[in-house]
Amino acid sequence: MPTRADHIESLLSLSHELGAEPRKLAILGEGNTSAKLSADTFLVKASGSCLATLSEADLVECHFAPLLAMLDRAKIAEQEIEDELLASRVDPAARKPSVEALFHAWLLTLDGIAWVGHTHPISVNQILCSGRAADFASRRLFPDQIVCCGVASVHIPYTDPGLQLARAIRDGVLRHIEAYGAPPRVILLENHGLIALGLSPQAVQAATFMADKSAQIFIGAAALGGPNFLDSGQAERIANRLDEHYRQRALNL
């Protein structure tokens, strides 16, 4: 059974991989990561810290309950959100959690989800800042994209970061679960970035890297007359192949 120290080590390793400058997935204070510790608490990147250089001091352990409660409050002022974020900390002396801890908290309550990584890849954002965002989210180009990113991604129209974005993500993910019977591997936020989620840090890393590769292929195909998508039957067949399930297990996805 992984210990808290194991989770910290794995979360730092994942953060450093996602924040590595040559990958062009996040710079400066962009992006955030999280890991579920128990039914009551999770670790999340502190506000303003850098994924590439994240240290244990930049991680904040938060209680789920006060953050989840905010999602259902009819009226809540910005200062109240700030106060609840600070109050959610297990250690009152810890740094302030990112405001995006709100969507991390909700995603980590889903069945089969224990790790989340949010980045702002240049390649992906070129599409998410264009009129082709919905196409990129709903359609697939090649088998490995399906293996690592799922048969479809959740597409969230632009919403300001914070509580409203967390609510929009919740609504979009619930629709996806109703349609496909399981949580998504990738959530795409228009004019913002990418969220990858999974049972392991390897799953988050694989989905992020493959989404980046998929975006580069999409952009290249668009420049050559338009993407040649797999049809829905082909995508579903690949998603349900026994050999692809074996590969997912081998890759700890």
pTM: 0.95
Domain spans in the chain, listed from the N-terminal domain onward: 4-250
The low-confidence residues of the chain, meaning pLDDT below 50, are none
What pLDDT shows up at residue 235? 83
In terms of Cα–Cα distance, which of 66, 60, 63, 67 is closest to 95?
A: 60
pLDDT at 83: 93
The domain over range 4-250 is classified in CATH as 3.40.225.10? yes
Residue 32 confidence (pLDDT): 96
Task: Check residue 77 and give its pLDDT.
Answer: 87
CB 151, CB 236: distance < 8 Å: yes
Angle at 139 between CA 114 and CA 117, to 5 degrees: 25
pLDDT of 243 reads 63
- So what's the pLDDT on residue 214? 98
Beta strands in the chain (DSSP E): 32-36, 41-45, 59-63, 115-119, 154-156, 186-189, 193-198
Contact 63, 88 (CB under 8 A): yes
